[in-house]
Amino acid sequence: MTRYDLLVKNGTLVLPYHGEIRADLAVSGGRIVVVGEDLDGAEEVIDATGKVVLPGAVDAHFHIGIYRDMALDAFEETRSSLVGGATTVLSYFRTGRHYLDRTGPYGTIFPEVLAAVGGRAWTDYGFHLAPMTIEQIEEIPRLVAEHGITSYKYYMFYKGFDLAANSRDAQAFTMGDEYDLGHLFLIMEKLAEVQRSRPDRRLSLSLHCEQSELMRVFIDRVRRSGAVQNLRAYSEGRPPLTEQVAIAEAAAIAAHTGADVNFLHLSSAEALEAASRTPGRRETTLHHLCLDHDDLDARGELGGKVNPPIRTRAHNEALWEGVRDGRIDWVASDHACCMEEHKGDDLWPAHPGFGGTALLYPVLFSEGHLRRGLPLSRIAEVASANPARAYNLWGRKGSLAVGFDADLTVVDPSATRTVTADLLLSGQDHCPFEGVEVTGWPTTTVVGGRIAFHDGEAVGRPSGSYLHRG
């Protein structure tokens, strides 16, 4: 007799905040309905013998459509997420240069974004929005109520200095109003106001913390120095001091307004220390945990250019210690599909960013669990449970508990593969992790109770849903 839609049998289930258990897991109607022993009676069975079953990762830092057509990017890059065991992505979006290359009210623009992504995402998905104008700040209450957007963003390094265009005209890039600390204050003030009327939801502002006036000084100094303009130079032009100062500025305004903040993609020991001294939640990325600018420079390419920059092994290890001891709340990919043609061989105009979502669980398993001894429950917390809690998805995402969405990935702990761009099922034609040997790869990824990825291939058609978090 068929009782369930799907059974995952004989695996080791990883439960965030608890540990590991040997059990079967049953799915009906897209949700987990039973966790127990010797379950049977399903239309479809996944044999997880010898494998680890993790809650689907919530990749909370993503950029759908930043450099490419949004519909194409949604299809190819959320497909890549499945390779790494991610079943939910939360993508940043803003008006201005890149993305749709225009400005205007989100009431008009955001429905266009949803239409472009709808029916093309393999994972469930949501958005963080960046208010670039006063008008967009005033839209926040409506965006919360109508679209469930409970998380927003401010880019501190856009203030007065457009590095992407090598120009001191930030407004040409943001297509917005005066983008300064006054603008940041107004966003935080509005979020705190709306938060008081919505105590059932966490409204938060995510912060890209690099201090632009200091960056101007350091970048000018590096460019005049005559040194090779490589990724080491890029790090020296945007040193950890710029992160420290920006974090302090944002923390002071957050304390005054009462806004809840997230410190994004911490890249250095100094940034982690500064962020750990102030209320807020803290994120780092796979590349800031694992990549070293000298190693990438030895390859003679600029594919690893990203903001904040790749730093050194010492900073890698400081951030891993933050993952271990709880100062880092979650790890994300900061996935931004960027083709080699947009990197080129000139450091400063090269586009920042690259893909990495397909490596989320593999790198955390290989480098975090196998190499550094982090418990699998901690891996599940930083990849899934903690971002779900931070962004109003807990209860649906982030756990293998009964009642949660049946989002999960089955990982073969002994599978060792060398990273190549082709392996990642992304549209991107290069990868800064290329050639790295990684152990612990998903064999099957399930989204909403449906097998979406198996044995290296996407299965069926995209069926991800928009996540209203309000």
> Minimal CA–CA distance to 407: which of 126, 85, 48?
85
- pLDDT value of residue 164: 45
Q: Which long-range contacts (CB under 8 A, 24 or more apart) does 110-117 make?
A: 110/143, 110/147, 110/149, 113/65, 113/70, 114/147, 114/466, 116/65, 116/70, 116/71, 116/74, 117/64, 117/65, 117/70, 117/71, 117/74, 117/466
**Cα atoms in the 13 Å half-sphere on the side-chain side of 276:** 18
Cα–Cα distance for residue pair 206/385, rounded to 1 Å: 18
Phi/psi at 148 (nearest 5 deg)?
Answer: 65, 30
CA distance 331 to 312: 18
Distances (CA, A) of 417 to 59, 144, 365, 441: 22, 42, 13, 8
Query: How many CB atoms are closer than 10 A to CB 119?
Result: 13
Per-residue pLDDT tens digits of the chain, which is 470 residues long: 679 999 999 999 999 999 999 999 999 999 999 999 999 999 999 999 999 999 999 999 999 999 999 999 999 999 999 999 999 999 999 998 888 888 899 999 999 999 999 999 999 999 999 999 999 999 999 999 999 999 999 999 987 655 544 445 566 677 677 889 999 999 999 999 999 999 999 999 999 999 999 999 999 999 999 999 999 999 999 999 999 999 999 999 999 999 999 999 999 999 999 999 999 999 999 999 999 999 999 999 899 999 999 999 999 999 999 999 999 999 999 999 999 999 988 999 999 999 999 999 999 999 999 999 999 999 999 999 999 999 999 999 999 999 999 999 999 999 999 999 999 999 999 999 999 999 999 999 999 999 999 999 999 999 999 999 98
Beta strand segments in 17-135, E: 19-28, 31-36, 42-47, 52-55, 57-62, 86-94, 124-130
- Mean of the per-residue pLDDT values of the chain: 95
Give me 271's structure tokens: 């940034």
Backbone angles phi, psi at 200, to 5 degrees: -80, -10
CA-wise closest residue to 73 among 50, 96, 98: 98
Instruction: Determine which helix (DSSP H) or strand (DSSP E) holds 153, and give its type and residue range.
Output: strand 151-155
| Digit-coded pLDDT (tens) for 314-372 | 999 999 999 999 999 999 999 999 999 999 889 999 999 999 999 999 999 999 999 99
Gap between the terminal Cα atoms of the chain: 39
DSSP secondary structure code for residue 371 in this structure: I
- Three-state DSSP at 422 gives helix
pLDDT tens-place string over residues 151-207: 999 999 987 655 544 445 566 677 677 889 999 999 999 999 999 999 999 999 999
Report CA-CA distances (Å) from 216 to 210, 213, 236, 248. Answer: 11, 5, 12, 18
Q: Are 342 and 350 in contact (CB under 8 A)?
A: yes
Q: What per-residue confidence (pLDDT) applies to 179? A: 87
User: What are the distances in angstroms from CA 313 to CA 102, 382, 466?
Assistant: 39, 21, 38
Region for 140 from its dihedrals, namely left if φ exceeds 0, alpha if ψ lies in -120 to 50, beta otherwise: alpha
Q: What is the pLDDT of residue 262?
A: 98
pLDDT of residue 177: 75
List the domains of the chain with CATH numbers: 57-396+432-438 (3.20.20.140)
**pLDDT at 158 (0 to 100):** 86
Distance CA 209, CA 155 (A): 7
Residue with tokens 């289930």: 13
Find where tokens 């996935």 sit: 335
Q: What pLDDT digit, counting tens, does each position of 337-346 carry?
A: 999 999 988 9
Is residue 56 within 8 Å of residue 452, measured between CB atoms? no
**Which amino acid appears at position 404 of this protein?**
F
SS3 15: strand
220 Ramachandran zone, left/alpha/beta (phi>0; psi -120 to 50): alpha
Q: What is the reported pLDDT for 170? A: 63
Q: Are 130 and 152 in contact (CB under 8 A)?
A: yes
